A and B are shown apart, each in its own frame.
Chain A
Amino acid sequence: MASKRPDGFTICNYAFLAVFCLITIYPIYFVLIGSFNDGNDYMRGGIYFFPREFSLANYSVVLRDDRLYTGFYVSILRTVVGTATSVFFTAMVSYAMSRRNLIGRAPYYWIHLFTLFFGGGLIPYFLVLKNLHLINSFWVYIIPTLFSVFNMIIFNAFFREIPEEIHESATVDGAGDFRIFLSLFIPLSAPVLATVALWNAVGHWNSFFDAMIFTTKQDLMPLQLFLMKMIREADVISNSQYVPPQVQKKISVQTIRMAAIMISTVPILLVYPFLQRFFVTGFMVGSLKG
């Protein structure tokens, strides 16, 4: 196989994948060079490969915006707290649902499953959150995402693979179910917990819809909503912000947006090499096969 000359299909395949990768990478590079270019100069167009007039003015404006720091704070907090609580809570329910002797297991299961196919819609959901006093509260990011039926199904598939003897011997030793879940099942299912945690974390970090609908306070504004306001509503420089005249000459709406996009992407670029090892090696996928 190794010494065989590549056939037409192989050449096309490699070429296609290479082009696809270029299409994926280039836009990020495009924004990177734009963000480091002088804003007024950028508006003349034609910057495709290198910055023409290098400038840090765009970053200096974005980095002076208070909303950026609030955004980072809210986003990091909701990602960490939201992911930890959601994975724990969903895993706990799944543990109970995976016990074969659970009375009412079948009806419980159908109650969960039905929610995948029918829901009340946005407005009634909004009303429920309003009645729970979650509107305009930080907890609106945490509590409504505490549990996910979809993740429960994934946990269940994994928990069922754990040998029953482990549970039995722990019971003989006098451990209750909560204890067994905490000190046996959680460590045993680390791969699947990590996988679901990754999904959750990505969802939390990237979401802005809930913030847009359920909050109006500026100190609850996550990073993505801040970016949304910049990109969609041209709300680029905060009202309270003073921009010195010599900086003003070197910025433009577009390049400031680009700088904000880059700043918000840096944390992902930093963790991506670690994450990437996690799913390219098949650790994550192996955990889902169970």
Chain B
Amino acid sequence: MTTERGPPCLHISDASLAKPRRPGLLLRFARQWQIQAMALCGILFVLVFNYAPMFGIVIAFKKADYSVNLMRSLTEAPWVGFDYFKEFIADYQFRDILLNTVGLNLLQLLINFPAPILFAILISEVAHKRFKKIVQSISYFPHFISWIVFGGIVINMLSVETGVVVSALLKLGILSEPVAYLGEPGAFWPLIILTSLIKGLGWGSIIYLAAITSIDPTLYEAATIDGAGRFRRIWHITLPSISGTIIVFFLLSVSNLLNSSFDQLWVFQTPLNLERSEVIDTFVYKIGITQMRYSYTTAVGLFKSVVALVLLVAGHLVSKKVAGRGIF
């Protein structure tokens, strides 16, 4: 397997010598049947649960709403072209839904992605070991309770009559009259961002904290001797050292773009705040599963995937132009 080019005659003899030693593809495949069987289990799984649904997208272009036997309508239902896409764009909720889906996701990327990095840096700056452990144990905890439980707790806290938040804000003079936050469309986005922060900040910081603790401490000592203050040490040593981890997790959150956190939205969504709380995922569930409009909502789902892809490519191009490196 040398890459150097020898004299031509030597090259030929080399190849003819190597040939009989290497068994045929079929034989090699048969010999490794055990790992092939294991690997193909995984392939079979994604074919059934990931690729088969992709073929189901066909029903977005067929008239299969309310259909009882969907398998049958997959092949027999009449084609309707892009009718369902047009219907969605003409829907009176379309503008709100699109704005909420894109807006909430971009805000999460902008605020809830960098926040755990900052939090990890803050924790790593704590010298008191016991305090550090307590902060870690407490801030990781909300990750382990579900959005339903966490949301139920927040709803209780926000209650106008019995909750603590409204009465505290009234006492402090921040509010002049009671506000039912869950019925207030304008309060929905801040509510989502804040609750995501409280629930996810600690847990999200774990991986960055690990990256920070594995930084060579002599780097900091040398920088201190050279007269670098705390913020310059963070900026010039900590951040560059964990940039690899940051990029990996940025990629992961970008690949999840527009996949709203359904659980969270579902808990806080009320008929009164729909204007700012309805996103594509909740819309698809309501109209698709409960009202059986299968074709229409498949089209809406596909619309979401396409928008996500467009945003991804746009982000890639912008970052390539501005920062000199793309997302991929």
Contact = CB atoms under 8 A, between A and B. Distances in A.
A208 B162 contact: no
Nearest to B164: A48
Assign chain A's interface to a size class: 35 or more
Contacts of B131: 14, 17
Interface in B1-48: 25, 28-29, 32, 34-39, 41-43, 45-46, 48
B149 A123 contact: no
A227 B162 contact: no
Contacts of A122: 281, 284-285, 288-289, 297, 301
A10 interface: yes
Nearest to B39: A96
Contacts of B127: 1, 10
B32 A102 contact: yes
Contact of A16 (B71, B122, B297): B122
A231 B148 contact: yes
Given A24-B138, A176-B34, A119 B305 contact: yes
Q: Which of B46, B155, B161, B162 has the most CB of A within 10 A?
A: B162
Given A20-B139, A265-B145, A108 B39 contact: yes
A125 B70 CA distance: 12
B50 A121 contact: no
B146 A224 contact: yes
A101 interface: yes
B78 interface: no
A27 interface: yes
A28 B255 CA distance: 33
Given A103-B29, A123-B56, A227-B152, A9 B140 contact: no
A117 B255 contact: yes
Interface in A25-71: 25, 27-28, 30-31, 34, 42-48
B83 interface: no
Contacts of B139: 20-21, 24
Given A102-B39, A103-B25, A124-B57, A147 B144 contact: no
Nearest to A7: B230
B135 interface: yes
Interface in A95-122: 95-97, 99, 101-105, 108, 111-112, 115-122
A257 B152 contact: yes
Contact of B206 (A18, A90, A230, A285): A285
A198 to B, nearest CB: 9
B266 interface: yes
A25 B138 contact: yes
A120 B53 contact: yes
A26 to B, nearest CB: 8
A280 B129 CA distance: 12
A13 B70 contact: no
A123 B288 contact: yes
B316 interface: no
Given A227-B146, A289-B214, 10 more contacts: A96-B39, A120-B53, A131-B71, A147-B45, A202-B144, A213-B289, A224-B149, A228-B148, A254-B162, A261-B152
Interface of B: 25, 28-29, 32, 34-39, 41-43, 45-46, 48-57, 59, 70-71, 74, 122-123, 125-128, 131, 133-149, 151-157, 159, 161-162, 164, 167, 198, 201-202, 206-207, 209-210, 213-214, 230, 252, 255, 262-263, 266-267, 281, 284-285, 288-289, 294, 297-298, 301-302, 304-305, 309
Interface of A: 1, 9-10, 13-14, 16-18, 20-21, 23-25, 27-28, 30-31, 34, 42-48, 89-90, 92-93, 95-97, 99, 101-105, 108, 111-112, 115-128, 130-132, 144, 146-147, 149-150, 152, 176-178, 181, 202, 205-209, 213, 224, 227-228, 230-232, 254, 257-258, 261, 264-265, 268, 272, 275-276, 279-280, 282, 284-286, 288-289
